[in-house]
Amino acid sequence: MRNHSDSVSVEALMASDEWKELQSKLEGFSQAPAFILFNSFALPMTLNWLCNTAEWPTVHQRLVLVTLDDKSRDRITALWPHIVVFHWPHVKQLQERFSAGDFSYQLIFLLRTNIIRAVLRTNRPIWMLQQDTFWRDNLFELDLEQQYENADVLLDQMGYVDDGPRAGWTNGANWFIRPTEISKQLFDDIAWYQTNMYTQDTGVINLRCHSQSSLNCSFIPYK
């Protein structure tokens, strides 16, 4: 990770022409942008998610699709030309098939963290989504940002019919992060852990949310 972390660093992102172009597009967003990352191996899943949410125009209007190879970018721009794309094809390891536990899997989550950090540095709030989810309702029309207006981070959680031992644990699928100083520090810390240790972002967030009283964590209701 240390040998490849520079290729997805927040400094590399923010210095790139691609990021500067994205920032000009984000100026036209009246609400927090929602990012999804994928390469060509996750393209079918991403297209399925886009079809499932197409009936809710406000979803696609807020999306920024992070494409990691040319095939993904070309397919998205052909089928969904109105959706904003941030193309980051500079890391070969992120263009391969990967699974939980391997190097590329860890690297894409470090990239995800650094995208969050880069957006927070512009003092914008951000949604970070995953396409391996099924929305029964439009998440953006549930007024979650207003209901949890004091939250530094609003997190998806593992669902149980009854209270279980992992109830209130973070799920990585759908997050909303405000650009507060404490949330910025949280994701700076997550990036350090991901670079120097094998740990998932959800693990660090679980620890901080349950032990750091100054961090205001709220959870998206699922019942």
Strands 34-38 and 63-67: parallel
Domain that holds residue 130: 5-219
pLDDT tens digits, residue range 44-85? Answer: 999 999 999 999 989 999 999 999 999 999 999 999 999 999
Q: Which tens digits make up the pLDDT trace of 148-196?
A: 999 999 999 876 666 666 666 787 789 999 999 999 999 999 999 999 9
Question: What's the mean pLDDT when you consider all of the chain?
Answer: 91
Percent of the chain with pLDDT strictly greater than 90: 71
pLDDT of 222 over the 80 cut: no
Arithmetic mean of pLDDT, 206-215: 89
pLDDT score, position 162: 63
CB burial of residue 53 (10 Å; 0-12, 13-18, 19+): buried
Q: DSSP letter string over 105-156?
A: HHHHHHHHHHHHHHHHHTT--EEEE-SS---SS-GGGS-HHHHTTT-SEEEE
Average pLDDT over every residue of 73-100? 92
**Residue 168's pLDDT is what?**
65
pLDDT single digits (tens) 199-208: 889 889 999 9
pLDDT above 90: residue 124 = yes
pLDDT at 105: 82
Cα 201–chain centre separation: 11
Say how many domains are in the chain: 1
**Per-residue confidence (pLDDT) for residue 3, from 0 to 100:** 74
Q: Give me the CATH number covering residue 143.
A: 3.90.550.10
> pLDDT (tens digit, 9 = 90+) per residue, 133-147?
888 899 999 999 999
Instruction: Give the pLDDT score at 182.
Output: 97
